[in-house]
Structure 1
Amino acid sequence: MTLNEELTAAQRCVDDLVRTVGRLEQRMGTGALELRRVRADADHLRESLALLREVSAQGPQKEGPPLVPLTDQPYDHTLWRDADDEGLGAGGRHAP
């Protein structure tokens, strides 16, 4: 399936969900907290899918900043000579 077909299928599913929640509201009433939460979640899904469609229509996204490679070599211990250990304080000092 193409991206557009996938988005259309997802939109159909969300539309079905919204219709089903509407039928549940008719049967149960809109006062139930759980049903209001389901309605809010369904509305958020609809909004999120609309945003996803907008992003996909813009084409491929730009890449972020370049990745910085990290080596497996240990750090130079002199970098941490005067640093405090979090929760332990500076090395060589004792608690009162």
Structure 2
Amino acid sequence: MPDQLELSELLRRSFRAHRPQGRSELGDDTNFFEAGYTSVLLTAVLADLVTKGVELTLVDMFRHPTMRLLQAEAARRHGVPDPSPTADALPWEQP
């Protein structure tokens, strides 16, 4: 099972490989569609991810349209604990 860092790197590599021509790399909170990704490009990204063992669907990419949100969903599906602090965490429990 991939860890959070491996999932993040797999996602970034796949999006980079299918980046729209003339566009810069995605930021964590950049919407895929605003960055020029189309459903055809997202399907290519998804196919690449699936071959690498990442369990996501095209619907996930529409529901979680930023790198940060999609990484969190991929981590959830793979059972990887979310390292981000929760709203319920006490200040000394947060990283």
TM over 0.5, shorter chain: no
Q: Which has the higher strand share?
A: 1
Q: Which has the higher helix share?
A: 1
RCO higher in structure (CA 8 A, sep ≥6) = 2
Q: TM-score under structure 2 normalisation?
A: 0.30
Q: TM-score under structure 1 normalisation?
A: 0.29
